[in-house]
């Protein structure tokens, strides 16, 4: 019997590509559907690739018809909190209308199982810690609101059409594949750990820290960092839960412990034995002071536990990946320069 296919929207992106590797290891065939707006063709290694946009319902339906997937993992989205504050239309169009297009395509193709990339940004300000799935969802930025609306749409599609969804509310994805095959590669990069590492590698003259007057232990914002490989494996478990129980649910994915921005900077400094040039800026709108998860439900119901989410593993795996990326881009630049030189000489 052939492998069961899983349609992975956004599978060329950071978390999606790591999940494709985990799906393949678990015996599935990941079929990536991605418009490459922030993803990379080189990250599609474990199954077929369909170059398409969420908005293109006909193409989605054609992909479903030709690969006959048993479920969809839906990562494709715009995912930058700060950008969403000044480009909300982009976020509503892609994350809400794009998700609607996908849900309609699925229902029309009678495909009724979806695992959704949701986020702790649907909770907004921390009202109690650690946050359980029962924490009020009061998003404080357009990005969080678009993901919250997508969750509401999914609940209504379940009631009306029987489409079952598991929403995974990730906290902060971090680190890279432990074999250094894939990793985070965003331009511009907005995540703290890659920025700290790029600064240490000399790719940036300095890094900025936004906010040192949060009501936290050192004044900088506290986040819950979860290794991308742990996140990826949670998707395999969520998929199996969905296919077996055919019921909709929501799960937080985090570690329950928070690390401050300044603690991350110190950890990168001590890893690379170098002081990082840091510039302190005032805090940005839409950023809550503390976000930490209770992942007790994912452990209890899905049997999930993070294995690689300690800070040293996160930083070392990210360091190896970003160093490789940096060295490869330097090599390509030199190759380009020597080609130009050769053309000038001839
Ligand atoms: N990175 C995090 O810490 C984090 C935290 C919480 C939730 N999330 C969610 O996880 C998902 C993946 O995040 P990521 O960090 O891997 O982002 P990413 O930008 O690396 O990946 C997103 C992928 O979706 C694709 N895409 C975007 N819009 C599309 C469209 N209209 N049609 C087809 N493909 C499209 C992009 O090309 C990219 O490959 C997102 O939904 C994000 O909101 C991420």
Q: Which of 143, 170, 225, 308 is labelled catalytic?
A: 143
Q: Mean pLDDT in each 10-residue stretch from start to end of the chain (346 residues)?
A: 94 98 98 98 98 98 98 97 95 98 98 98 89 96 97 98 98 97 94 96 95 95 97 98 98 96 97 95 87 96 97 98 93 83 80
Length of the chain: 346
150 Cβ contact list (under 8 Å, min separation 6): 95, 96, 99, 116, 118
From the list 157, 95, 168, the residue with the least C-alpha distance to 133 is 168
What integer pLDDT is reported at residue 337 of this predicted model? 83
| 89, part of any domain | yes
By the 8 A CB rule, do 113 and 70 touch? yes
Pairwise CA distance, residues 159 & 302, whole Å: 23
Q: Is 12 touching ligand 1 by the criterion CB < 6 Å? A: yes
58/101 Cα distance (integer angstroms)? 9
Count of CA atoms in the C-beta half-sphere (13 A) of 22? 24
Torsion sign, CA atoms 129, 15, 191, 77: negative
Q: Is 286 among the domain residues? A: no
Q: Indicate whether residue 151 lines ligand 1 (CB < 6 A).
A: no
Mutate to test the pocket of ligand 1, among 75, 96, 142, 150 (most ligand atoms within 8 A of CB): 75
Residue 174 within a domain: yes
Domain contains 204: no
- For 163-180, write each residue's pLDDT tens digit: 999 999 999 999 999 999
> Could you tell me which residues come within 8 angstroms of residue 231 by beta carbon, excluding any fewer than 6 positions away?
15, 18, 19, 168, 170, 173, 253
Pick from 81, 80, 104: nearest CA to 154: 104
Q: Identify the burial level of 181 via C-beta atoms within 10 angstroms of its C-beta, where 0-12 means exposed, 13-18 middle and 19 or more buried.
A: middle
What residues make up the domain containing 133?
5-189+226-254+294-306
pLDDT, position 181? 97
Bond from prior residue into 241 cis (ω within 30 degrees of 0): no
pLDDT at 342: 83
Confirm whether 281 is domain-assigned. Answer: no
Residue 262 lies in a domain: no
Confirm or reject: Cβ of 100 under 6 Å from ligand 1.
no
- Pairing label, strands 259-260, 222-223: antiparallel
> Which pair of structure tokens corresponds to residue 1?
């019997």
> Which of these, 281, 237, 297, 202, lies nearest to 115 by C-alpha position?
237
Q: State whether the beta carbon of 119 lies less than 6 angstroms from ligand 1.
A: yes
| 308 catalytically annotated | no
Summarised one tens digit per residue, pLDDT across range 246-304 is 999 999 999 999 999 999 999 999 999 999 999 999 998 878 899 999 999 999 999 99
**Is there a domain that residue 158 lies in?**
yes
What's 104's domain CATH number?
3.40.50.720
Counted domains in the chain: 1
Q: Where are the beta strands (DSSP E) in the chain?
A: 5-9, 29-34, 49-51, 71-74, 113-119, 164-170, 172-174, 207-210, 222-223, 225-227, 249-253, 259-260, 278-281, 290-291
pLDDT of residue 101: 98
Is 330 contained in some domain?
Answer: no
Instruction: Measure the CA–CA gap between 336 and 332, rounded to whole angstroms.
Output: 6
């Amino acid at each position: 019997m052939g492998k069961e296919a899983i349609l992975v929207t956004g599978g060329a992106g950071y978390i999606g590509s790591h999940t494709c590797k985990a799906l393949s290891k678990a015996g599935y065939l990941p079929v990536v559907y991605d418009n490459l707006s922030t993803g990379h063709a080189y990250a599609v290694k474990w199954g077929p690739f369909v170059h398409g946009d969420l908005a293109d319902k006909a193409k989605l339906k054609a992909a479903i018809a030709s690969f006959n997937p048993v479920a969809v993992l839906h990562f494709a989205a715009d995912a930058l909190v700060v950008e969403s504050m000044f480009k909300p239309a982009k976020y509503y169009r892609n994350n809400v209308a794009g998700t609607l297009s996908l849900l309609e395509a699925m229902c029309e193709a009678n495909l009724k199982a979806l695992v959704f990339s949701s986020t702790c940004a649907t909770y907004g300000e921390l009202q109690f810690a650690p946050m359980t799935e029962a924490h009020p969802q009061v998003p404080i930025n357009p990005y969080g609101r678009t993901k919250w609306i997508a969750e509401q749409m999914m609940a209504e599609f379940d009631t009306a059409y029987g489409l079952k969804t598991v929403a995974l509310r990730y906290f902060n994805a971090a680190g890279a594949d432990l074999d250094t095959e894939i990793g985070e590669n965003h331009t511009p990069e907005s995540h703290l750990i890659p920025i700290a590492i790029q600064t240490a590698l000399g790719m940036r003259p300095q890094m900025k820290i936004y906010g040192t007057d949060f009501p936290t232990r050192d004044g900088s914002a506290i986040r819950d960092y979860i290794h991308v490989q742990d996140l990826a494996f949670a998707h395999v478990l969520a998929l199996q839960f969905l296919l077996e129980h055919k019921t909709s649910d929501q799960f937080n994915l985090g570690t329950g412990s928070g690390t401050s921005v300044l603690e991350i900077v110190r950890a990168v400094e001590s890893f690379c034995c170098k002081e990082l040039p840091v510039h302190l800026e005032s805090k940005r709108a839409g950023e809550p002071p503390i976000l930490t998860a209770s992942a007790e439900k994912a452990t209890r119901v899905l049997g999930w536990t993070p294995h690689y989410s300690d800070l040293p593993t996160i930083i070392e795996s990210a360091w190896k990946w970003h160093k490789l990326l940096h060295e490869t881009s330097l090599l390509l630049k030199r190759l380009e320069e020597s080609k130009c030189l050769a053309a000038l000489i001839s």
